[in-house]
Amino acid sequence: MTPRIYEDTSPEIERIQIELMRNAPAWRKVELACQMFDSMKLLARAGLRQRYPQADAAELERRLADLLLGPALAERVYGPLTPSEHHDGA
């Protein structure tokens, strides 16, 4: 028996989805991956806005870089968070 990937989807629909992905051209798979990445960034930004409601757009983008790249690499690429950007909850 094949293990299930999606517990909230019927086995037949899941089988069809997997088959469609297997048969999709490479450009479509890349397009879907890019869409998923964009969706993940939207969710991450929303979480950062909730966590740091006083932050401006530049600070939120810098904090997003921390999430995407890790704090050490984000600091090397974008510089450290400025003192005004250090808020409670960091």
Supply the pTM of this predicted model. Answer: 0.71
Would you call 57 exposed, middle or buried from its count of C-beta atoms within 10 A (0-12, 13-18, 19+)?
A: exposed
Quick check: is 25 in a domain? yes
Query: Digits of tens for pLDDT over the chain (90 positions)?
Result: 567 887 888 999 999 999 999 999 999 999 999 999 999 999 999 999 999 999 999 999 999 999 999 999 999 999 998 755 455 554
Question: Total domain count for the chain?
Answer: 1
What is the C-alpha separation between 28 and 1, in angstroms, rounded? Answer: 29
Q: Which amino acid is at 61?
A: E
Quick check: is 1 in a domain? no
Quick check: is 28 in a domain? yes
Supply the range of the domain harboring residue 53.
11-85
**Other CB atoms within 10 A of residue 22 CB:** 8
H or E stretch including 12?
helix 11-23
End-to-end CA distance of the chain: 45
